[in-house]
Amino acid sequence: MDLTGKTSLVTGAAGGIGLATARLLARTGAFVVATDVDERGLAALAAELGASVTTVTGDVSSPDDVRRMVGAAVTERGRLDIAVANAGIIPLSTVVETSPEDWDRVMAVDGRGMFLTCKYAIEIMLGHGGGAIVCVSSISGVAGQHGQAAYGPAKFVATGLTKHLAVEWAAHGIRVNAVAPGTIRTARVKELGDEPGGREYLATMAAAHPLGRLGEPEEVAEAIVFLASPAASFITGAVLPVDGGYLAR
């Protein structure tokens, strides 16, 4: 994959899947606007990637912050070719345990944040003939799960935006796709192993994926960068499971 000359934006780039994606985009030659609420994480990434990255600290649920993130691509490179709408929080609770405030919070970050990232990215992409957007959904944005009464519906926003925006903007050269990761071994998921009942939970989750293990952030990044690249030039509106076969059952 050679993305030399492309300008990309990754939200939630300080950790997990976003960090792996920012690293892979830089390795393939793209310039990366890395954004997150985690300023220290972004500073570490900037030190690692050097001139191939610029960072913007901000919250994806804030329209002003997302405009600043997208604006940085224009300031630095005059264009935005690739946007990865990845930032998200993962609260797990049943509908009885979920308060109205919990619902609003996850919808603000995972729902509205993804909407704002797509909206302001598309406004820029329209000015130079197109681009590619990848939304990070989840198996929970495709199929029902236990204990994900607010998070699951928020991930359906990512899946829904992908399909609707793909149709809305195809004629303008903008492709919109999504990945639907299964359970991925990010730092937070690894920590679960040290919590009471965590080892058993992770073993159950691994067994639920037909490949018999959890995924790695780098495996999701590979799929994201493929969908964002010219290798996927005839793919739009797709939701690609990166789930070890979870959704195939």
Binding residues (CB under 6 A) for ligand NAD: these are 11-12, 14-18, 36-38, 41, 59-61, 86-90, 109, 113, 136, 138, 181, 183-184, 186-189
For residues 186 and 205, what is the distance between their CA atoms, to the nearest angstrom? 14
CB-wise, 24 or 184, nearer to ligand NAD?
Answer: 184
How is 45-62 classified by DSSP, letter by letter? Answer: HHHHHGGGEEEEE--TT-
CB-wise, 128 or 188, nearer to ligand NAD?
Answer: 188
151 is catalytic: yes
How crowded is residue 238: how many other Cβ atoms within 10 Å of its Cβ? 16
Q: How far is the CB of 106 from ligand NAD (least distance, A)?
A: 9
**3-class state of residue 207 by DSSP:** helix
CB-wise, 130 or 156, nearer to ligand NAD?
Answer: 156
Q: How far is the CB of 173 from ligand NAD (least distance, A)?
A: 26
218 contacts 148 by C-beta, under 8 angstroms: no
164 contacts 158 by C-beta, under 8 angstroms: no
Query: Cα–Cα distances in Å, from 247 out to 117, 142, 236?
Result: 27, 8, 20
- Intra-chain end-to-end CA distance of the chain, in Å: 31
CB-wise, 8 or 86, nearer to ligand NAD?
Answer: 86
Closest residue to ligand NAD in the complex (CB): 16
Q: How far is the CB of 3 from ligand NAD (least distance, A)?
A: 21
Q: How far is the CB of 98 from ligand NAD (least distance, A)?
A: 16
Query: Cα–Cα distances in Å, from 206 out to 108, 150, 172, 217, 239?
Result: 30, 23, 41, 15, 22
CB-wise, 59 or 81, nearer to ligand NAD?
Answer: 59
Q: How far is the CB of 140 from ligand NAD (least distance, A)?
A: 7
- Give the active site residues: 151
